[in-house]
Amino acid sequence: MIKSLKKEYFHRFLMVDEKGEEIARIRVKIFKDRGHLNNYVAQLEYKLSTFFKPWKPVVRYNYCHNFVHRDIFNRKGKRIKREKFGKFKDLKDAVKMAEDDLKLKFQYYIKWFVKRDE
């Protein structure tokens, strides 16, 4: 039997530079199977330069091996820290926690990310 996996994407822009270019965003990808949330990724991304530079991950929340966790990245894109948050009865709560944290602390995360050089 083939599963009906559906992906939903959301972008929320949080910060623009002096030229009005978007430089910080939250990107959320939700995976549903038959209408039920079964996985997600919520990621804060930043552009160090708006000239031909890709979005870089700063902080990412996702669900893997029945655990919600947060990964923190350096400017080279290397994961430097992983924190587990345990299990959630409903992944909707995990998505909300991730989005709330990223919206609330995005300036702190980006400030740390820009200063960090390793």
Asked if the model's pLDDT at residue 1 lies above 60, the reply is no
List pLDDT tens digits, range 41-89. 999 999 887 666 788 999 999 998 788 999 999 988 899 999 998 778 8
Question: In the prediction, which pLDDT does 2 show?
Answer: 47
* CA atoms of 47 and 107, how far apart (whole Å): 13
Nearest to 59 by CA among 40, 47, 42: 42
Instruction: For residues 70 and 99, give the distance between their C-alpha atoms in angstroms, rounded to a whole number.
Output: 12
Q: In what order do the strands lie in the sheet with 67-73?
A: 5-16, 22-33, 36-46, 56-64, 67-73, 79-86
Is the pLDDT at 110 greater than 70? The verdict is: yes
DSSP code for 74: -
pTM score, whole prediction: 0.84
Q: How many domains does the chain have?
A: 1
Q: Are 34 and 10 in contact (CB under 8 A)?
A: no
pLDDT at site 118: 55
Q: Which amino acid is at 4?
A: S
Largest CA distance in the chain: 52
Domain hosting 54: range is 5-115
